[in-house]
Structure 1
Amino acid sequence: MATNNSVVGGESSTYKINDRVILVQVLVSVFICINCLLITTLFMKDFYTTMRYILFAITLLSDSLFLIMTDILLILIYFKFTMQMWLCVIMYIVLSLYTFVTPVTLTAMTLERYVAICMPLRHGELCSTRRALHCILIIHGLSSIPCIVVLSIWFASVTPSFYTQGRLCSVEMFIFYKWQGHLRSAINQFYFFIMCIIIVFCYVKIMKVAKAASVENKKSTWKGLRTVILHAFQLLLCLIQLWCPFIEAAVLQINFMLYINVRYFNYITFILAPRCLSPLVYGLRDEMFFHALKYYALCGLYKKQPSNLR
C-alpha cells in the first residue's frame, strides 16, 4: 500500500510540473510578443536616435534574449536532455551576461534622466547617439566581469576531458566550492550596492531641482523623479532575482518538492514577470512612445499620434 501511494504521488507531482512547464511556455510567448511589439515600435519611428530610447531598446532586447535562453534551459532540464559542457559554457556566458545587462542599463537610464533634469544645457552633448553607443559597450563590459570571474575559476578547476562530457546544464555546475558561491554573492551585492548609490544620488539631486523648479518645469521634473523611482523598483526586482539561488539552496536542504515549488514561484515572479511588465510600464508612461505603440498595436487604425514623432 505504501508503494502504491508513493507511485501515485510521483505521478501527481510529475503532472503538476508538466502543467507548470506549459504555463511557462504560454507566459514566455506572451511576454516575447509584447517585447517584440515594443521593439518594433522603437525601430519603426526614429526613437533610436535618442539615447533614452536606445537604452530602452537595449533592455527590451536583453530581456527577450534572457527569457528565450532561460526557457530553452528549462525545457532541456525538464526532459533531461544532456549536452556537452562546451555548449553549456556558451549558454552560461549568455545568461550570466544578460542577467546584469538589464540592471546596469537601468542605472544608465537613471543617469540620463539626471543629466536631462539637472544638467539640461549639457544633455545634448553628454547624451548624443555616439555617446549612447559608447555607453552600450561600457554596459556590456561591466556586465561581463562577474561571468569572467566565475568562469576563470571554473576553467582552472576542470580537466580538458570535462568539456566533452554530456551533462544536464545548470548554473550550479560552475560552482565547485562553497567559497565560489560566496565570491559570486559578494560580486553581485557589490554591483547592486553601487547601483543603489547611483539611484539614491540621482533621486536626491532631482528632488532638489524639483523643489526649486518654476511652475512650468515642475511637471516634467516630477515626471523624471517618478521615472527614477520606477528604475529603483525595477532594480529591486533584479536584486531579489539574484538572491533566489541562495534561498533555493537553503530550501533544498529541507525538502526537495518544496525546493521545486519555490524555484517555480521565483522563476515566474522575479524573472518572467518583471522582465516584461516593467519595460511595458516604462513604455506606457512615455507619451510619445505610447501614441506610437497604440498606433502600431491597432495596425494603423489609431490616427491621433503626434505629428512630431521623430
Structure 2
Amino acid sequence: MNTIVLLDLWLPWLVLSTIVTTLPCCVFLFINVTTLYTLRSKAVFRETSRYILLFNLLFADTIQLVYSQTMFLLSACEITLLYPVCAALIVLYSLPDRISPVTLVIMCLERYVAVCYPFRHSTIITMRNTRVVICVVWTFSSLNVIIQLILLYKFSFPDMQNVQITGSCGNDSVFVDLVSDLYDKVSTYFLFALGGVTVLFSYIGIIVAARSVSTNKASANKARKTLLLHLVQMGLSMSSTIHNSLLIVISQNLGGIVIMHVLVFLYIFLTILPKCLSCLIYGLRDQTIRPVLMFNLSCQWRHSSLISDVPARSKTPAT
C-alpha cells in the first residue's frame, strides 16, 4: 500500500516538475541562443571587447543551462548512471561552471576601467588583450578539469568504477574521497570569494569616481547598477553550489512531498535563474543590444528600421 501511495505522489510530481522546469528552461535557452546569435550578427558586437566578454559568458551559461536541465530530468526519472559516466559529466560541467564567474569578474573590471579611467580605457581594454584574457580563462578552467580528473582517477576510480549512482548525479556522488572533495570545495569557495571581493572593489571604486566632477554621472550610475546586479548574480551562482547541502538540511525537517516542491523551487531560482541573468541584464538594459535582440527574438517580424541606427550608436556603447 505504501508503494502505491508513493507512486501516486511521484507520478504527478514528475509530470508537474518536468513541465515547470522545462518550460522556463526552454524559454531562457531560446533567449540565450538568440542573444548569442545577435552578438555575432553585427560587426560592432564582434569588435567590442565588452560584447566579446558577454558572448563568452553567455556561451558558458547556455552550456550549463542545458546540462542542468538534462541532469535534473535524469534525476527526476530516477535513471541510474555508472560512477565513471557521472564523474565525467560532473567534471566536464566544471569547465563552463568556472568560466562564468571568472568572465563575470573580468566584465566588472572592464566597467571599472571604463568609468574610473575613461581616457586609458581604449589602450587597456583592446581586442588583443580581450582575446588573451579569454584564452587565459579557458586555460585556467581546463586546468581545473585536468586536476579533478587526475584526483578522481587516483583516489576514487579504483573502488568506484563499477558502482551505480542511485540518487542524483552531483558533486556529493562523485567527490567521495577526501582529497577530491576538499579540492573541489576549496577551489570553488576561493573562486567565488575572490570574485565577490573584486566586484565589491569595482563597485566601491565606481561610487567614489561618481562623485568626481570630471566623471560622467549617468555612465557611472548605470555601471554601478550593473555591478550590483552582477553581485546578485554571483551570489545566486554561489548558492547553487550548496544546493545539495540545503536539500539534506531540509529533508531532515520536512515531509516527502514538501521536499519535492522545495527541490523544484530551489532548482529554478538557484540553478536556472543565474544562467539567464546575464542576458536579461545586458539584453534589456543595453541600448545597443536591445533593438537588435528584440528584432531577432520577434523572428524578424519587425521592420529593419529598428536596427538601422545601431552602427551610429555603437561608437559610444552604453555602460
Is the counterpart of residue 72 in structure 1 residue 70 in structure 2?
yes
Aligned to 2:269: 269
- What residue ranges of structure 1 are gaps of 5+ in the alignment? none
Once the 2 structures are TM-superposed, how far is the Cα of residue 302 of structure 1 from its aligned partner? Answer: 5.1
Give 2:39's match in structure 1, choosing from 42, 49, 54: 42
Once the 2 structures are TM-superposed, how far is the Cα of residue 238 of structure 1 from its aligned partner? Answer: 1.0
Quick one: structure 1 residues 255 and 51, their matched pair in 2 at CA, closer, same or farther if it must change by over 3 Å? same
Tell whether the 8 Å contact from 1:294 to 1:302 is kept in structure 2 after alignment: no
CA distance in 2, matches of 1:19, 1:143: 36
How many matched pairs?
306
Aligned to 2:290: 290
CA distance in 2, matches of 1:69, 1:276: 14
CA distance in 1, matches of 2:156, 2:312: 58
Tell whether the 8 Å contact from 2:155 to 2:177 is kept in structure 1 after alignment: no
Q: Which amino acid aligns with 1:303?
A: S
CA distance in 2, matches of 1:89, 1:182: 16
Tell whether the 8 Å contact from 1:295 to 1:303 is kept in structure 2 after alignment: no
Quick one: structure 1 residues 77 and 243, their matched pair in 2 at CA, closer, same or farther if it must change by over 3 Å? closer
Aligned to 1:54: 52
TM-score scaled by length of structure 1: 0.87
CA distance in 2, matches of 1:248, 1:91: 21
Matches within 5 A, 1:160-309: 160=158, 162-163=160-161, 167=165, 170-171=169-170, 172-177=172-177, 181=181, 183-214=183-214, 217-254=216-253, 257=256, 258-298=258-298, 299=300, 300-301=302-303, 303-305=305-307, 306=309, 307-308=311-312
Aligned to 2:317: none
Quick one: structure 1 residues 12 and 83, their matched pair in 2 at CA, closer, same or farther if it must change by over 3 Å? closer
Tell whether the 8 Å contact from 2:156 to 2:177 is kept in structure 1 after alignment: no
Tell whether the 8 Å contact from 2:152 to 2:180 is kept in structure 1 after alignment: no
CA distance in 2, matches of 1:166, 1:287: 50
Task: For residues 10-61 of structure 1, give each alpha carbon's deviation from its aligned partner in whole angstroms, at most 9, with x where no partner exists.
Answer: 3123321221012222122111111111111111112021111011111211
Once the 2 structures are TM-superposed, how far is the Cα of residue 178 of structure 1 from its aligned partner? Answer: 5.9
Once the 2 structures are TM-superposed, how far is the Cα of residue 95 of structure 1 from its aligned partner? Answer: 1.4
Report sequence identity in percent: 25
Instruction: Judging by fraction of residues, say which structure has more helix.
Output: 1
CA distance in 1, matches of 2:249, 2:181: 13
Quick one: structure 1 residues 75 and 126, their matched pair in 2 at CA, closer, same or farther if it must change by over 3 Å? same
Aligned to 2:101: 103
Aligned to 2:21: 24
The secondary structure found in structure 2 opposite 1:102 is: helix
TM-score scaled by length of structure 2: 0.85
The secondary structure found in structure 2 opposite 1:212 is: coil
Once the 2 structures are TM-superposed, how far is the Cα of residue 289 of structure 1 from its aligned partner? Answer: 0.8
CA distance in 1, matches of 2:100, 2:111: 17
